[in-house]
Chain A
Amino acid sequence: MSPRILPFIMVLAAMAMVPLVSTSPFYVNLTSQVAIAAIGALGLNVLVGHAGLNSLGFAVFPGLTAYLVAWLSTVGGFDPVPAALLAIGGTLAASMLFALVALRTTGLGFVMITMALCQIVWGAAYRWTSVTGGDNGLSGVPRPGGAVLPLERPEWFLWLCLCVLALALLQLGRFFDSPLGVALRGTRDQPRRMSAVGYDVWRIRFVAWMLAAGWGAAAGLLYAWYHQFVSPHMMAVTASAEVLLMVVAGGAGTLAGPLIGAALVVLLKNLASIWIDRWMMLLGVTFVVIVLLMPDGIVPGLGRLTAWLRRFRPAPAPALVPRERTDG
C-alpha cells in the first residue's frame, strides 16, 4: 500500500465507522453531508486548482443533476436508478454546451461567465414554476435501494456516499499524476508554451471541465437523495461561493484540501451553530484567520508547518505524513 493513500484510507475508514460509535443518526447524517460536499469540492478543484480556472458557478452541475433526478423520479415516473443515470447524462450533455461558452474566457471573465451560466439555470428553476416548483422546489425525491441495500437508513446512505467519495479520490488522484493531469497544470501555468509544443489547450480544459461537471453531478445526485428535495437555493451564488471557499480554504490543487475544506465548512455551519449564535461571523473569521496564517490553504500550510518543525529534530522521523502536493 502506497504511503500516500494510507491517510485517505484512514480518514474514509474513520468516517465509515461513525455509525458504530455515534448514538445519534444526526452525526451519521452530518458525515454524509461532509462526504457529499467533499465530492463536489474535489470536482471544483479540478478547475480551480489544476486548470487555473476559478469558477463562481460550480453549483450549476450539482443543481442540474439534482433537479433532473428529482423531476424524473417524481413527476417523470422513473425509478431512482434510471432517473439518476439520465440526470447525470443530461447534466453532462448540458455541460458540454456550457463549455462552448465558458471556455472562451479565462481569468475574471471565466469567473463571471460561470456565475452567469449558473444564474441562468437558477433563474429557470425559480421562474419555471410549473415544472420546477419555483422557490418551493420539488420534494419527495425517492432514494434507491431495497432490502439488500437499505439506503433509506442513514448509515447505509453514508456508506454509499463514502464509496463515491473513495472513487472520486482514486480517479482524481490518478488523474492529477497522469500525463493529462500534468498537461492540465501546464495549461494553467503556460498555455502559450503548451500550445507551442503541440497540446490542444482548449480540449485539455474541456476534459477538466467535464471532469468537474461529472463529479459535481455525482455530488448533486447524492444531495438530492440525501435531502430528498431540491430548491433553487442550491444554485444561488452563495452556494457556489461556498464550494469555492471549501477548495481554497483546504488548499487548491491538493487532493486532501477539498476534503478538509468541505469538512471545515460543513462542520462549522452545522456543529458550531449548536453552540454559537453568530456562526456566519465565525465562518468569516475562520476564513480570514486561515488566509492570514496559511494563504495557500490548510493542507499546504500544515505541510509547511511540519516541514518547519522537522528541522528542529536531530534525525528525521519516519515519514508518517507524506509530503503533500503543494503545486496549487
Chain B
Amino acid sequence: MAFWISQSLNALALGGLLFMLASGFSLIFGLMRVANLAHGALFMLGAYLGLAVVKAGFGFWVAAASAAVAVGLFGGVLERTLLRRLAGRTLPQVLLTLGLAFIIADACLMLWGGDPMRLPPPPELSGAVRIGDAVFPRYRLFVIGASAAVALGLWLLVERTRAGAMIRAAVDDVGMARAIGVSASTLFTAVFCLGTALAGLGGVIGGPILSVYPTLDQDMLPLALLVVILGGAGSLIGAFVGAYAIGFIYTFGQVLVPDLAYVILFLPMIAVLSVAPQGLFGRRLG
C-alpha cells in the first residue's frame, strides 16, 4: 500500500513539473505553430537564474518570481526580434530554436560552470511527512499543489477572461481573430512571454528536485515533447492529461518493468499516435 501511495505521489509530482514545462510549449505551438525547441534551454535558464537569486541572498519565492519574469521577458525579446521573421516556416524555426538552445546552454555553462548545483527548497517546505505507511517529501507535495494551481490559473485565463477568448479565437483561426479586432502581434508576444515564463518558473520549482546542471535542458526537452505529442499539440487540457499520463507511465513503468526503463515512454506514445495521430486531445492541423 505504502508503495502505491508514494509512487502515485511521485508520479503526480513529476507530472506537475512536466505540465509546467509542457503547457507553455503547447500554448505557443497552438497559437503560433512554432515548435520551440529552445524550451528546455529556457527551463534550464530559469533554474540557473533562480539559483543565482537564491545565492544573492533572496529567498526561494523571490527567485521563482524573478526567474519567471526574466525568462518571460527574454522569451518576448526572442519572439519580437527573431521568431517573428519566420512566421509559418517550420524548418527555419527548427534551425533557429535549436541554434538558440545551443547558445543558451553554452552560455549557462560559461557563466555558471559545469558543476551540478543544489537549489535548496525553502526551509518551510523541507523535510518529509508521513502519509499512512509512506514517507513523502513535503516539497514534492508543494510541487503537486503548485502545478495544480498553475493549471487552474491557466484554465481560468484561457476560458474565463477576455485575453483568453482572444487566444482561443486566434488558435482556431488567426485571420478570423484579426478580423474581429484582435491584435495578433501583441497576442503572439504576450503568449510567448507567458509560455517561456512558465518554463522559467518550472525551472526554479523543479530545481530542488532535479538540481541544476549543464544538460538539464537535454534531459527535459524530450519529456516536454512527449507530453505535447501524447496530449495533442496546442491543447491545454491535452498538456494536462499528457503530463500526468507521462508522470505515471514513467514512474510506474520504471518500477514495474525496469528492463524497459529506456523505452517505457515511447511504446505507449507509438501506440497512441498509431491510433490518433493528432494525440489524445489534438485537433487536426492544416
- Within 8 Å CB of A252, what residues of B? 91
- Size bracket, chain B contacts: 35 or more
Closest to A121 in B: B263
Nearest-CB distance from A313 to chain B (Å)? 29
* Contact indicator A119/B98 (Cβ below 8 Å): no
Interface residues of B in 236-286 (CB under 8 A from A): 259, 261-263, 265-267, 269-270, 273-274, 277-279, 285
Is B126 interfacial (CB 8 A cutoff)? no
Contact residue among B110, B229, B274 (Cβ-Cβ distance under 8 Å from A108): B229
* Contact indicator A108/B102 (Cβ below 8 Å): no
* Contact indicator B90/A245 (Cβ below 8 Å): no
In the assembled complex, the Cα of A179 lies from the Cα of B85 at a distance in Å of 35
* Contact indicator B222/A115 (Cβ below 8 Å): yes
Is A162 interfacial (CB 8 A cutoff)? no
Given contacts A115-B222, A284-B106, contact A290 B263 (CB under 8 A): no
Interface residues of A in 84-122 (CB under 8 A from B): 101, 104-109, 111-113, 115-117, 119-120, 122
Is A33 interfacial (CB 8 A cutoff)? no
In the assembled complex, the Cα of A284 lies from the Cα of B103 at a distance in Å of 5
In the assembled complex, the Cα of A291 lies from the Cα of B202 at a distance in Å of 29
Interface residues of A in 259-307 (CB under 8 A from B): 278, 280-281, 283-288, 290-292, 295-296
Contact residue among A107, A108, A280, A291 (Cβ-Cβ distance under 8 Å from B95): A291
In the assembled complex, the Cα of A119 lies from the Cα of B270 at a distance in Å of 11
Nearest-CB distance from A53 to chain B (Å)? 11
- Within 8 Å CB of A249, what residues of B? 95
* Contact indicator B94/A248 (Cβ below 8 Å): yes
Stretch at the interface among A65-73, A138-146, A163-171, A236-244: A236-244
- Within 8 Å CB of A117, what residues of B? 266, 270
* Contact indicator B267/A120 (Cβ below 8 Å): yes
In the assembled complex, the Cα of A122 lies from the Cα of B222 at a distance in Å of 14
Is A157 interfacial (CB 8 A cutoff)? no
* Contact indicator A291/B277 (Cβ below 8 Å): no
* Contact indicator A285/B103 (Cβ below 8 Å): yes
- Within 8 Å CB of B89, what residues of A? 295
Given contacts A108-B233, A116-B266, contact A288 B92 (CB under 8 A): no
* Contact indicator B102/A284 (Cβ below 8 Å): yes
Interface residues of B in 96-124 (CB under 8 A from A): 96, 98-103, 105-107, 110
* Contact indicator B95/A105 (Cβ below 8 Å): no
Interface residues of A in 47-83 (CB under 8 A from B): 48, 54
- Within 8 Å CB of B99, what residues of A? 283-288, 291
Is B82 interfacial (CB 8 A cutoff)? yes
* Contact indicator A291/B92 (Cβ below 8 Å): yes
Given contacts A104-B273, A281-B102, contact A287 B267 (CB under 8 A): no
* Contact indicator A116/B269 (Cβ below 8 Å): yes
In the assembled complex, the Cα of A109 lies from the Cα of B282 at a distance in Å of 10
Interface residues of A in 122-174 (CB under 8 A from B): 122-124, 126-127
- Within 8 Å CB of A281, what residues of B? 102-103, 106-107, 110
- Within 8 Å CB of B170, what residues of A? none
Nearest-CB distance from A109 to chain B (Å)? 5
* Contact indicator B95/A290 (Cβ below 8 Å): yes
In the assembled complex, the Cα of A232 lies from the Cα of B51 at a distance in Å of 33
* Contact indicator A292/B85 (Cβ below 8 Å): yes
Query: Binary interface profile of A, 228-256, with partner B (CB < 8 Å = 1, else 0)?
Result: 00000000011001001100110010000
* Contact indicator B102/A287 (Cβ below 8 Å): yes
Nearest-CB distance from A55 to chain B (Å)? 11
Is B28 interfacial (CB 8 A cutoff)? no
Contact residue among A112, A241, A284, A291 (Cβ-Cβ distance under 8 Å from B269): A112
Is B44 interfacial (CB 8 A cutoff)? no
Is B69 interfacial (CB 8 A cutoff)? no
Closest to B274 in A: A104
* Contact indicator B226/A112 (Cβ below 8 Å): yes
* Contact indicator B267/A283 (Cβ below 8 Å): no
In the assembled complex, the Cα of A111 lies from the Cα of B106 at a distance in Å of 25
- Within 8 Å CB of B91, what residues of A? 48, 54, 248, 252
Interface residues of B in 63-109 (CB under 8 A from A): 82, 85-86, 89-92, 94-96, 98-103, 105-107
In the assembled complex, the Cα of A115 lies from the Cα of B37 at a distance in Å of 14
- Within 8 Å CB of B98, what residues of A? 241, 245, 284, 287
- Within 8 Å CB of A237, what residues of B? 218, 222
In the assembled complex, the Cα of A286 lies from the Cα of B218 at a distance in Å of 20
Interface residues of B in 193-251 (CB under 8 A from A): 218, 222, 225-226, 229, 233
In the assembled complex, the Cα of A48 lies from the Cα of B4 at a distance in Å of 45
Is B146 interfacial (CB 8 A cutoff)? no
- Within 8 Å CB of B274, what residues of A? 101, 104
Is B35 interfacial (CB 8 A cutoff)? yes
* Contact indicator A120/B263 (Cβ below 8 Å): yes
- Within 8 Å CB of A280, what residues of B? 102, 105-106
* Contact indicator A278/B110 (Cβ below 8 Å): yes
Nearest-CB distance from A116 to chain B (Å)? 4
- Within 8 Å CB of A248, what residues of B? 91-92, 94-95
Closest to B85 in A: A292
In the assembled complex, the Cα of A117 lies from the Cα of B92 at a distance in Å of 24
The contact sample of 20 A-B pairs, CB cut-off 8 A, is: A104-B274, A109-B273, A112-B269, A115-B225, A117-B270, A119-B222, A119-B263, A120-B266, A120-B270, A237-B222, A252-B91, A280-B102, A281-B107, A283-B99, A283-B102, A286-B99, A287-B99, A288-B96, A291-B92, A295-B89
13 extra interchain contacts, Cβ-Cβ under 8 A, other than A112-B273, A296-B92? A104-B273, A109-B229, A109-B273, A112-B269, A117-B270, A244-B94, A281-B107, A284-B98, A284-B99, A284-B103, A286-B99, A290-B95, A291-B99
